[in-house]
Every structure is written in structure tokens, then in C-alpha cells.
């Protein structure tokens, strides 16, 4: 059985935390996780932790956990009440415990799960003052012989009160309803997606934003803060594992053409759903995703809006070669040597595009290696770099024509660039994006100073490993307000009132 770790970004903790935590707040590791609708549990939403395949292993090898959003004083009692059931009867350990390294336990017991939903309460006393978010409700599932389904959780200070719990759960409406979906794309390719629907904005149909990550083997969950904000505005979100990655089928090959086909398949799937407004589908993409979204939108006039984060811009071929000239210069190959290497690279790619025979490709490849050596690299260096450049993925980048796609888009476009981006050259790209979008009456191109490629406030131009993408408040707020305005044009939300987003920032 496939193993996976699902780490879901926790909402803000503290006194303002909601009484009931929805199923999207569970953190589950060590097993396969699936979200779905279930009308038999409060909130109509459940998450399934698949049965383990090593029942003789450690109980904590697989677990479900949720942070307590309450600060506790020494001697104060706290209760955690959650909904759970199992595919067949079983007993699992459950506890309220602290984090590493001590994992101190406030309360512990075993619970009997049945195929029917049960409301289960665990209560304990704080031994010392404890900050919000430092204690966890945890179920150990490593020896569970059957699938375990979990519903919402209610945390309360003091003694548990049955009437209070019944009333609170009866009135519970989750901020989001999460569904795992399967999206057919090319033959043999089914994308594993996660659709989040607003839980407090009626039954739809909802506008939706398709989230597209950057290059590499991307999985779901890159934009958790964006999703939370959009859901609060009544906008659904969809993201998915790239083909051949995570739970998606097919073979992972990160070429732009394949990524475009998968994004178009996601849009087609959404338009089949009665709870989605097919005329209000938008893209939000980062880096590679900010090329893929506009490329699909250029061919689909029904796309409602496009948000580009650090999106490539430039004419076909020049985008890649200009970037390569800069990288070669930084690596010590400048002047005439730089021109020779770029010309050799263009000749190799021309041969690849023409599907020339080895008698043409091999000499072109050797000329590129020779040019790198003449520029001062060792033979081993040159061979290693050329091996990285001579791939279908890089060739697809060389063939990219972002300005051509941008000029064709009739939907509103918000293109944001980061002042400290070391991956996409903001000074070179911003003028290109403005030029390509000059005939779009609702296009905004802006640079946000002080942010890196992931639109984060960190000390490097690279995306930060400990923060989700677009964690910078100014970027998150701008994008959310812009999307709310463009996907709810008839009824502007409170976040959009009194705010004017310039058509084109200079």
C-alpha cells in the first residue's frame, strides 16, 4: 500500500480559533489519505486514513493528529471531542499529548470504533501552563486493520458538557468541504486532485481557481494560505499531483506541453461539476505554472481570470537564450565564448526540433561541449552541463513562447514579480510582460519588492523551505482581493471594497 504524509497547514491558533475544527485540519502520516463527502457526520465531510499493511509494527507508525487551539493554565482541564468510525470494528489508542522531545501525555485511553459514526471525548488536565498549538489530539493507527474515518473535532476548556457539544456540532458549518477527485487526462494518465469547496457560502455553483506549481515533481498543497483565503471569499480551489507523481498515474515528464494538457484536463473536469460555475474558472500559477496557465487561457476564451506569479515572458527562444547568456557569464564564459556556446546550443535544439538523425545531432552536441571547454570549463564540467541541457524538458522551455500566449489572452490578468527573485529575472521580464499584455484592457503587471521567487519574506531569492508559497501578506492580500473582484463581479466582497488595484503599475 502506498505510504504518504499529509501535512495540512494549520489555521491561526488562539482565542479567535473556531469552536469546531474541520477535517482539513487533521494531520495524517504513514498511510494513504482520502477526503470525501459524508452526510452522516457533522459538516458532511470526512477524511479516511487507509488501513496499514504492517499490523505487527509500531502503533505510531501511522497516526492522525490535530493541534489544540487553546492556551491552558496549570491545573486547567481540557476536553477534545471528535467523530470517528472504522470500516469494521477495531480498537485504537488515542491521547492528548505534547510534542517532541518528551511527548508528555495529558490524557490517554483506547477507543472502540465501529462502522457507525461515534462521538468520542477525551479529557485531561494541564500539568503546567501550555501555549496554544503545543498539545495534540492523536490517534495511533499503525496497527489498525481497517480504514479509519475521522470527522470534525471540538476542543473545550473545562469539563465536557454533553448538551453544549450536541448543540455546537449541530450548528457546525465547515469553512471548507474537501474532496479528493480523479481527473482523466491523456490515455493512461489520471490526475489525483483535491477540490476544496467553500462551506459557508451556500451550495454553489462556485467560482474556482486552479492552482499550478512550479517545475519539478509537484504535489498538492503548495498554496495552503491562498486556499484558505479564497475559500473564505466563497471561491473554490483545485490542485493536483503532477502526472506520475504522488497518487497521479502516468509517467512524470515535466515538459510544458504535457503540463498544459493536464491543466486543460483539470478545467474540463471542473466544468462537468454542477457545484462549479464553468464560466468562472481561473488559473493561479507560480513560475512554470505561470506559463502553463496563460498558455491554456490563450486557447480557452472562457477562462475568467489568470494570476501569474513570477511568470516567464519573452519571445520564443529568446527567453531561454537570454537566461542562458546570464548563467554562462556568471559561470565564467563571457564575450565571444558566450556567443559561441549559445549558438551551438541553438544549433543542437534546432536539430532536436527537426528530429534530425544522430549523424546531425551528435556533431551538434559535440560542438556545444567543445564551446564550453573553449570557454574555460573542464571536459567533465562541459559534458555534465550539456547532459542536463539536452533533455525533452529543457527543450520544451527553449520552445516556449510566453509573449505569444499572453498577447492572445482576453481574460483579466494579474502578473506579479518578486524584487529578490533569483530564478526569474524580474528586471528583464517585467518589461516583456507589459509589452505582451499592452492590448489587454484589464492587465496589471507589478513588482513586489523584498520578496523571493516563492513570494515569501526570507533572506534568499530561492523559495523558503519552511513557509508555504505566497506567505508574504502583501502578495496574499493583493491576489485574494483581485480574484474576489474578478470572480464575483456583480457582488464585490468586503475585502474588495474601498480598494483600487491599478490597471498597470509602472
- Assess whether pLDDT exceeds 50 at residue 492: no
The residues with which 198 forms a beta bridge, in sequence order, are 176
Q: Cell 474541520: give the residue.
A: 22
Q: Which fold has domain 176-315+401-496?
A: Rossmann fold (3.40.50)
Q: Domain-by-domain residue ranges, the chain?
A: 5-170, 176-315+401-496, 318-398
- Burial code (b: 16+ CB inside 10 Å, e: under 16) for 258-293 equals bbbbbbbbbbebbeebeebbbebbbbbbbbbbbbbb
- Assess whether pLDDT exceeds 70 at residue 206: yes
Cα-Cα-Cα-Cα torsion 10, 11, 17, 18, nearest 10 degrees, comes to -90
3 falls in which pLDDT band (50, 70, 90)?
very low
Q: What are the tens digits of pLDDT across the range 42-79?
A: 999 999 999 876 555 688 889 999 999 999 999 999 99
pTM value? 0.85
- Nearest Cα to 441, choosing from 416, 411, 479, 405? 411
Angle, in degrees to the nearest 10, between helices 289-299 and 256-270: 60
Q: What are the tens digits of pLDDT across the range 433-488?
A: 999 999 999 999 999 999 999 999 977 656 655 678 999 999 999 999 999 999 99
Of all residues in the chain, the percent with pLDDT exceeding 90 is: 77
Q: What are the tens digits of pLDDT across the range 354-387?
A: 999 999 999 999 999 999 999 999 999 999 999 9
Residues 6+ apart with CB under 8 A from 472: 448, 451, 455, 456, 457
| Domain 5-170 falls under CATH 2.60.120.260 | yes
pLDDT for 101 equals 73
For 33-39, which contacts have Cβ atoms below 8 Å and span 24 or more sequence positions?
33/4, 33/6, 34/180, 35/178, 35/179, 35/180, 35/194, 36/179, 36/180, 37/177, 37/179, 38/149, 38/151
Q: Three-class SS of residue 317?
A: coil
* Contact between residue 64 and residue 148 where contact means Cβ atoms under 8 Å apart: yes
* Contact between residue 464 and residue 452 where contact means Cβ atoms under 8 Å apart: yes
User: In this structure, what DSSP letter does residue 225 have?
Assistant: H
Cell numbers found for residue 131: 501555549
How far apart CA 207 and CA 56 sit, in angstroms, is 47
Q: Three-class SS of residue 110?
A: strand
Q: What is the mean pLDDT of residues 234-255?
A: 96
Angle, in degrees to the nearest 10, between helices 318-330 and 335-353: 140
Q: What are the tens digits of pLDDT across the range 5-35?
A: 443 333 333 333 348 999 999 999 999 999 9
Amino acid at each position: 500500500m502506498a505510504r504518504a504524509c499529509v501535512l495540512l497547514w494549520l489555521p491561526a491558533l488562539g482565542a479567535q480559533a473556531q469552536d469546531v475544527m474541520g477535517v482539513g485540519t487533521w494531520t495524517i502520516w504513514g498511510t494513504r489519505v482520502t477526503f470525501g463527502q459524508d452526510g452522516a457526520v457533522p459538516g458532511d465531510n470526512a477524511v479516511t486514513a487507509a488501513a496499514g499493511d504492517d499490523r505487527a509494527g509500531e502503533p505510531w507508525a501511522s497516526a492522525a493528529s490535530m493541534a489544540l487551539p487553546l492556551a491552558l493554565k496549570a491545573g486547567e482541564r481540557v476536553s477534545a471531542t471528535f467523530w470517528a468510525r472504522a470500516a469494521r470494528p477495531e480498537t485504537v489508542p488515542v491521547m492528548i499529548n505534547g510534542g517532541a522531545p518528551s511527548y508528555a501525555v495529558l490524557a490517554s485511553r483506547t477507543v472502540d470504533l465501529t462502522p457507525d459514526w461515534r462521538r468520542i471525548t477525551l479529557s485531561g488536565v494541564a500539568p503546567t501552563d501550555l501555549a496554544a498549538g503545543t498539545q495534540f489530539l492523536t490517534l495511533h493507527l499503525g496497527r489498525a486493520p481497517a480504514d479509519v474515518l475521522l470527522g470534525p473535532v471540538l476542543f473545550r476548556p473545562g469539563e465536557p458538557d454533553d448538551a453544549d457539544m450536541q448543540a455546537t456540532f449541530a450548528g457546525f458549518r465547515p469553512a471548507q468541504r474537501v474532496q479528493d477527485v480523479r481527473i482523466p487526462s491523456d490515455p493512461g494518465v489520471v490526475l489525483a486532485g483535491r477540490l476544496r469547496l467553500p462551506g459557508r457560502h451556500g451550495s454553489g455553483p462556485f467560482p474556482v481557481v486552479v492552482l499550478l506549481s512550479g517545475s519539478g515533481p509537484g504535489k498538492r498543497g503548495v498554496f495552503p494560505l491562498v486556499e484558505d483565503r479564497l475559500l473564505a471569499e466563497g471561491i473554490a480551489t483545485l490542485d493536483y499531483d503532477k502526472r506520475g507523481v504522488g497518487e497521479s498515474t502516468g509517467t512524470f515528464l515535466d515538459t510544458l506541453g504535457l503540463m498544459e494538457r493536464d491543466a486543460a484536463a483539470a478545467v474540463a473536469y471542473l466544468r462537468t461539476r454542477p457545484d462549479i460555475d464553468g464560466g468562472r474558472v481561473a488559473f493561479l500559477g507560480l513560475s512554470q505554472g505561470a506559463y502553463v496557465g496563460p498558455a491554456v487561457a490563450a486557447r480557452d476564451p472562457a477562462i475568467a481570470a489568470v494570476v501569474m506569479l513570477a511568470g516567464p515572458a519573452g519571445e520564443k527562444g529568446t527567453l531561454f537564450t537570454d537566461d542562458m547568456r546570464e548563467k554562462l557569464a556568471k559561470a565564467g564564459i563571457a564575450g565571444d565564448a558566450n556567443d559561441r556556446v549559445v549558438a551551438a546550443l541553438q544549433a543542437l535544439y534546432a536539430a532536436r526540433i527537426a528530429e534530425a538523425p544522430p549523424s546531425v545531432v551528435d556533431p551538434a552536441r559535440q560542438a556545444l561541449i567543445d564551446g564550453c571547454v573553449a570557454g574555460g570549463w573542464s571536459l567533465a564540467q562541459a559534458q555534465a552541463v550539456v547532459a542536463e541541457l539536452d533533455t525533452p524538458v529543457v527543450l520544451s522551455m527553449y520552445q516556449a513562447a510566453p509573449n505569444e500566449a499572453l498577447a492572445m489572452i482576453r481574460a483579466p490578468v494579474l502578473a506579479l514579480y518578486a524584487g529578490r527573485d533569483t530564478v526569474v529575472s524580474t528586471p528583464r521580464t517585467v518589461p516583456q510582460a507589459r509589452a505582451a499584455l499592452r492590448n489587454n484592457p484589464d492587465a496589471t503587471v507589478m513588482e513586489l519588492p523584498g520578496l523571493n521567487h516563492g513570494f515569501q519574506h526570507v533572506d534568499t531569492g530561492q523559495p523558503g523551505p519552511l513557509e508555504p508559497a505566497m506567505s508574504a501578506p502583501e502578495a496574499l492580500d493583493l491576489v485574494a482581493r483581485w480574484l474576489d473582484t474578478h470572480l464575483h463581479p456583480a457582488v464585490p466582497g468586503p475585502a474588495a471594497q474601498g480598494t483600487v488595484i491599478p490597471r498597470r503599475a509602472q
